[in-house]
Amino acid sequence: MATTDLSAYQKEHLPDARSMRIGIVVSEWNENITENLRKGCVDALIDCGVGQQNILIAHVPGSFELPLGAQLLFENKSLDAVICLGCIIRGETAHFDFVSQACAHGVQTLSLKLGKPVIFGVLTDDTVEQSISRSGGSKGNKGVEAAITAIKMAGLKRELENNW
């Protein structure tokens, strides 16, 4: 478990993101958390050079729907990466396990199928307090981390396509 803010980044070590087109799919479930993730994600993308006009945001009902939301964005828009943002908090039933596993597997499968970065920015926490601390609180903002991951992976894809 992360014990420090892992959201710090150094722009000078990132690929040039000025022409990148990034999609963000945001779960409406636990909206108070996911909107903090979205804000951190968008702010980091813009800070790293992605133009606001090159950021496309779509909302889906819950984290289970994130992979399909990402697929729909790729099918309908020319994007370098899609970031999936969600928050799944453990409850008293096995629902947490099913949704978490399905979401993670769906994101991974889509990324491998399309050969494009689909980023898993989904909190899977035991408590609301843990989610708050990871969406702009004491543990940073997973939305920022997802943005940086998207830039790095889109940059890697471009580099390999252009230099090999």
CA distance 21 to 52: 9
Residue 163: predicted pLDDT: 81
Work out the mean pLDDT of the chain and round it to a whole number: 92
Mean pLDDT of 135-157: 94
Residue 164: predicted pLDDT: 67
Q: Which residue has the tokens 């478990």?
A: 1
Determine whether 95 is an active site residue. Answer: yes
* Domain spans in the chain, listed from the N-terminal domain onward: 18-163
CATH numeric code, 18-163: 3.40.50.960
Stated pTM of the model: 0.92
Answer whether residue 5 shows pLDDT above 60: no
